[in-house]
Structure 1
Amino acid sequence: MTLPLVVDLDGTLLRSDLLVETGMAFIRRHPFQLYKTVGWLAQGKTVLKSQLASATDIDVNVLPYNPAVLELIKIAKNENRLIVLATASHYTLAEKIAEYLQLFDLVLATNEERNLTAESKRHLYGTAKAAVSTFCEGLRARLFKVGVSVTTIKPGFVQTPMTKELNLPPLLIAQPEKVALSIVKAVQNKTNTLYTPTLGTDNAYYQTFTKLYIQADKSIVRFTASDKTLYIQPHR
């Protein structure tokens, strides 16, 4: 089974946001018509995106594309996977980018009737993750009889070019070497599923999340430590 690759645009394929790009382009071109953007936004974010896309001419050739993401897409393309661009940006801009890059088989974007927000795209992301996990479970069960183990790796934030632009606290980003060692150990131990990095009670991750917890609403989130792993569960 070949799984599709669904790629977000703003902050992923691009190291910027097209709404910001078009907004700034509009202000530069029509500095005395800033009031129009307020009126468009008052009619909804979908109208704002549509009007800015129509009123500006963004050169997609010079946009700040993320080379690490482009390389990932090319690898998936060579594996004959379906490549989907799913973005909350307006479809006219998304189509221009897709036409320029010549990497996408399908484009899902905001139009006049629908604002493709994170909530709208979440089912694509969740479906893809669930499909991978389910596929690994089935493969694990099938190969168990012949002595082959299958380990599903579920990493958190790792220090890579793809996470460089996220501006996360350093303590929340694991080093590749540490994650790689945990993966090797999991494979050697024939672990079914590996979550890495774990949040041990004796490391900086635990202290960071404990601090966040103290500032949070205790009626919503509760942290419990067991076997030196931090679990997050709803407070009952």
Structure 2
Amino acid sequence: MSINRTRREALDHVEMADASLRKSVFREIGRDLACSIREGLVTDISSEIARLMEKAFKAGAELGAGPSFKINQRTSNRIMTELDVPPSPREEIPLFQVALRIGFDGNRGATVPEALFLIMQPGYRGMPSSLSRDEWLFPIRFQERGFTNKVVSPLIKLGLYHDAQELSNGWKVSYMTEWGFEFFTTGQTRVSADRKPGTSSTIEAYRGLLGNDPNAVFQSAARRVGMFDKRVLEPSGRFGIMR
């Protein structure tokens, strides 16, 4: 499925029928409009917005004519793609893919399990964000600067990373779920409502990389970023537990 949607395209009724996918499509159309306004390609902004609202209204009216349609319905067994990922984390997807290529080689097996982890180093409080901000770091340390919360928080919400756990002095840690591993290695995964622990297509590779002692991997990851914490990671109740 292409992630590019422009305001000139007709609205796909299949996409409009799914509540979460519909929101993603509208967001992309909004991005296209905002970009066109910035570039001076749209001069009558109010008319353009009115046209898009009319298009959305007509699509909704056509869908609503079906007796089985419900405004909050979702498509069974829908596949989650990059279209479902908000713009900020979507732009960073190649970096997550690089991290996994460093961490896992299908021919050689698991190599650097720390690649599954992100550790947040808190910014200095009271300083402007341009000088100091929270940074989520890959322990394998290949990116120039860490990710912002705007990148990582949506990935947690989508279930691609586990809920962040508090560490000492404001530091936090999260690690990739089996669904995140599947998404970043194949480009797609199931939406959260259809997930059952241990059923992703890449579960064996994920388990092979994570290993049998995630806490040992976490301690190693923490040392790599210069952070030491003796806490044991807690099981995640939302998307399966550590094994």
Q: State TM-score, norm by structure 1.
A: 0.25
Of structures 1 and 2, the larger Rg is shown by: 1
Relative to total residues, which structure has the larger helix share, 1 or 2?
1
Q: State TM-score, norm by structure 2.
A: 0.24
Higher RCO (CA 8 Å, separation ≥ 6 residues):
2
